[in-house]
Amino acid sequence: MPAITAGTVLVSGANGFVAVWVVRSLLENGFFVRGAVRSAEKGAHLRQQFSKYGDRFGLAIVPDITKVRAFDDAVKGVDAIAHTASPYHFQADDPAELLEPAIKGTLGILESARKCNSVKRVVVTSSTAAVLHDSPTPMVFSEADWDDQAVEEVEKKGRAASNAHKYRASKTLAERAAWDFAKKHQSEIGWDLSVLNPPLILGPVIHEVSSPDALNTSARQMHGVFTKPDAAASGGGCWVDVRDIALAHVLALQKQEAGGERIIISAGAFKWQDWLDAAPAESKSKYQKGTPGAGKDAVHPVRYDASKSKRILGMQYRSMEETAEAVVDDYEQRGW
């Protein structure tokens, strides 16, 4: 499909941590945006935040993304879709709590897009949770990898599967469902599919949030590292700045070559101590210091090859210092 450099983009889950930044990035790049939210109340903050864009930003109310034909009205007349809506938490008892909204929401919006002849590209926000798998030795994963291991664990153990495996299975199955749908209906759809796979998404918050306890999962984890003793003593992963994954959604529309591609969006690996070390010097008296340098020579069990994102999208990733500074500034402005 041709590159999409103008027109209207539907963003699902538009009031979420990542989606608000996607909306902002699209608007800054000249697009019209229709943000799908569950209720008018949930869209009030967005209307206020993006009021300067006038009629270039509007809302679509989709109360339940798992319902059949939930997005039929929302997709009418749009040129592209950015599907970001999917649950991200680790508290599910029944795997269906994660699997159903992830899979049904994805297939539902694709089915609505199938019947809408204005749509030219659909960008789905997946995750590296659909890429990695447990390994006894450190590994570098690429777009060729799939987390079938988590799916097998959930199928075998059900509720007894780990919360991490439940979440990872939801992302794997939802993404596979998207690719299968696009392949099955290839002859009848006028759009192509692009999938973005980010790891842990960190950075400043612009969605509506009243307190640190109300933050989304990744942002709440980051806040804990900066404010709670010993929270940075162990653990880590791979990360990307929320503003970079937002821009990646725009680039996935603007770059013709992104059509039909699965693309990892990752800035690199970290230990939580690295974030405390990267914080601006003037802020270190206000937040936890941990054990400076403790993460410097650490072995990272998981890394991702992000070369495809640079080759196809032209991604240039923010440094840990840039992201840490923005996060700390956000905390200070909020009095956290």
Q: What is the pLDDT of residue 205?
A: 96
Q: Answer whether residue 3 is part of any domain.
A: no
Compute the distance between CA of residue 251 and CA of residue 240 in angstroms, rounded to an integer. Answer: 16
Mean pLDDT of 76-86: 95
Compute the distance between CA of residue 271 and CA of residue 233 in angstroms, rounded to an integer. Answer: 9
Average pLDDT along the chain: 95
Mean pLDDT of 280-285: 86
Q: What is the pLDDT of residue 156?
A: 96
- The model's pLDDT over 124-172, given as tens digits with 9 standing for 90+, comes to 999 999 999 999 999 999 999 999 999 999 999 999 999 999 999 999 9
Alpha helices in 139-191 (DSSP H): 148-157, 163-184
Q: Answer whether residue 2 is part of any domain.
A: no
Q: Tell me the pTM.
A: 0.96
Q: What is the pLDDT of residue 262?
A: 99
- Percent with pLDDT over 90 in the chain: 88
pLDDT-based confidence at 91, cuts 50/70/90? confident
Give the CATH number of the domain where residue 310 resides.
3.40.50.720
- The model's pLDDT over 207-227, given as tens digits with 9 standing for 90+, comes to 998 899 999 999 999 999 999
| Backbone conformation region of residue 260, classed left if phi is above 0, alpha if psi is from -120 to 50, else beta | left
Compute the distance between CA of residue 126 and CA of residue 308 in angstroms, rounded to an integer. Answer: 16
Question: Considering its fold, how many domains does the chain have in total?
Answer: 1
Q: What is the pLDDT of residue 210?
A: 86
90 exposure class (CB count in 10 Å sphere: 0-12, 13-18, 19+): exposed
Q: What is the pLDDT of residue 256?
A: 98
Q: Is the pLDDT of residue 331 over 80?
A: yes
Q: Answer whether residue 85 is part of any domain.
A: yes
What secondary structure letter does DSSP report for 319? P
Q: Answer whether residue 1 is part of any domain.
A: no
SS3 state of residue 138? coil
Q: Answer whether residue 219 is part of any domain.
A: yes
Compute the distance between CA of residue 95 and CA of residue 265 in angstroms, rounded to an integer. Answer: 26
Which of 108, 99, 100, 123 is closest to 74 using CA atoms? 108
Q: What is the pLDDT of residue 196?
A: 99
Packed helices 242-254 and 17-28: angle between N→C axes, nearest 10 degrees: 50
Q: Answer whether residue 81 is part of any domain.
A: yes
Which of 71, 115, 106 is closest to 85 using CA atoms? 106
pLDDT-based confidence at 326, cuts 50/70/90? very high
Least confident of 86-90, 288-292, 295-299: 86-90
Least confident of 25-39, 47-61, 78-92, 288-302: 78-92
187 exposure class (CB count in 10 Å sphere: 0-12, 13-18, 19+): exposed
- The model's pLDDT over 93-129, given as tens digits with 9 standing for 90+, comes to 899 999 999 999 999 999 999 999 999 999 999 999 9
Strands 236-241 and 268-271: antiparallel
Domain housing 63: 8-334
Q: Is the pLDDT of residue 55 over 80?
A: yes
Q: Answer whether residue 145 is part of any domain.
A: yes
Q: Answer whether residue 172 is part of any domain.
A: yes
Helix (H) or strand (E) holding 236: strand 236-241
Contacts of 41 (CB under 8 A, 6+ apart): none
